Structure 1
Amino acid sequence: MTARSAPPDQMRLPLQSDLPDGATGFVVSDSNRVAFEAVQDWPNLIGGTMAICGPEGSGKSRLGQIWAERVGATAVHGAEAALVDPLEIEGRPVLLDDAMQADDETLFHLINLAQAPGGALLLVDRPPPSAWEVRLPDLRSRLNAVRTAPVEAPDDAVLAAMLESRFAERGIRPAKDVIPYLLRRIDRSSAAAAAVVERLDALHRPVTRTLAREALEGGAESGELFE
């Protein structure tokens, strides 16, 4: 078995109206447009294997979920892929998130199965497949050939949407200048957005820029994801 890395999530802003079914709340911007467009029609014509890669908290796992919902893919996570019966997934699309955690033989067989009519394999992880450490020479050559679509760290549009969604989940209506203030001061990830909103909620006061500054100062002291 060859061990490797992990996933996360993302949300809402009406920047793109022609989203596929299941994509409600996903913000398409310059940070994820390449990957979004790469999987929007795939695997309608070609099948095979594709990978989405990018930093933690960038929304790549959410994009993989949207694709799986659209095409009816079997969704598998990491090392769990070794437990899947090949007969159950032959000839159908598969989403493998946290893909580096799958062992070499399982990855090799999944890539081969993706070549069958009706098959497709979408790999999701932080580094591109060409950078994964594997021992099987045949797997190495297959991973090097995988088409890869990058997702970058959330830009302002995506991070603002993440913050809006987190606030909405908690029934919080922040002052208008709070989100622009936070955008310049938190790490660019879904985890940072969730952490700062949780801290603001815990203060049990109207969410103003002053409270946001207080939350950031407290979060920095406790080592949370704030710059």
Structure 2
Amino acid sequence: MTAGRQLALDLPHREALGREDFLVSDSNAAAVAAIDSWPDWPHSGLVLVGPEGSGKSHLVSVWRQLSGARTLSVRDVAGDPQALMAGAGAVIIEDCGPGLDETAMFHLFNAVERSGADILLTARTEPRAWGIGLSDLMSRLSRLPVVRLEAPDDSLLLAVMMKQFADRQLSVDVSVLRYLAPRVERSFAAVRDIVARLDRAAIEEKRPVTRALAARILNEDEGETG
């Protein structure tokens, strides 16, 4: 191992995922307002749409805490709907989209309606883009309001970057944040990636996160794609 460096272990860090930790801007205000409006949801459901890393998982966590919802994946939907809904007053189905089991989803919707539960679906695209062939399922999906998380604007990107560093207990000068913000892909996934890499580099090299370190990490990206 090179002198002056130490092994950066892949130890987990705790992200703050409460409602008070969710940063609001024009790009996500509608989605936040929709989650906050529960339990006064029309048709007792909602579809939350946005790209990977847009904040869907955070809002799902917020709603789970509010509602006590049971979380299912699209693969879980193929199980017995009565068993899936047993004792659940609310349910979350994550990562919906093309290729889902339409018959199983339809039966689950029926079980949800019979139990009087609320349902939150997450997806990258709106239901009309899923290629649903089962008209009864499409009818039920069409009743649900769709709210979208847009790509983060400048103020939100900077704030999320600051929060990501804070979640890792890293103190970073605002000049570093302002240097990074216009140079990373405009997505929360990209922000998480660059913050994680800077955290790792700072641990390995026993140094703070500086603009010089940020520039080097970004230049390594350019070298890989050049």
Task: Tell me the CA shift for residue 35 of structure 1.
Answer: 1.0
Q: Percent identical across equivalent pairs?
A: 37
Q: 3-state SS of the aligned residue for 2:189?
A: helix
1:79 is matched with 75
Q: 3-state SS of the aligned residue for 1:52?
A: strand
* Matched-pair contact (CA < 8 Å) for 2:81–2:111: no
1:209 is matched with 211
1:135-214 matches, cutoff 5 A: 135-201=133-199, 202-203=201-202, 204=205, 205-214=207-216
Relative to structure 2, which stretch is displaced further, 101-110 or 173-182? Answer: 101-110
Task: Tell me the CA shift for residue 88 of structure 1.
Answer: 4.7
Partner Cα separation in structure 2 for residue 175 and residue 216 of structure 1: 17
1:94 is matched with 91
Looking at CA atoms only, which structure, 1 or 2, has the larger radius of gyration?
2
**Cα deviation code 1:18-38 (max 9, x no counterpart):** xxx941311121111101111
Q: 3-state SS of the aligned residue for 2:213?
A: helix
1:51 is matched with 47
Q: Supply the AA of the counterpart residue of 1:86.
A: Q
TM-score by length of 2: 0.79
Instruction: Please state which structure has a larger fraction of its residues in helix.
Output: 2
CA RMSD of aligned residues (A): 2.4
1:60-79 matches, cutoff 5 A: 60-79=56-75
1:221 is matched with 223
1:4 is matched with none
TM-score by length of 1: 0.79
* Matched-pair contact (CA < 8 Å) for 1:76–1:94: yes
Q: Supply the AA of the counterpart residue of 1:123.
A: L
2:21 is matched with 25
Q: 3-state SS of the aligned residue for 1:114?
A: helix
Q: 3-state SS of the aligned residue for 1:222?
A: helix
Q: Supply the AA of the counterpart residue of 1:99.
A: C
Q: Supply the AA of the counterpart residue of 2:90.
A: P
Relative to structure 2, which stretch is displaced further, 28-37 or 203-212? Answer: 203-212
Match of 2:127 among 108, 126, 129: 129
Partner Cα separation in structure 2 for residue 84 and residue 171 of structure 1: 44
Partner Cα separation in structure 2 for residue 137 and residue 84 of structure 1: 21
Q: Supply the AA of the counterpart residue of 1:141.
A: S
Relative to structure 2, which stretch is displaced further, 54-63 or 41-50? Answer: 41-50
Q: Report the number of matched residues.
A: 205
Unaligned runs of 5+ in 1: 1-10, 13-20
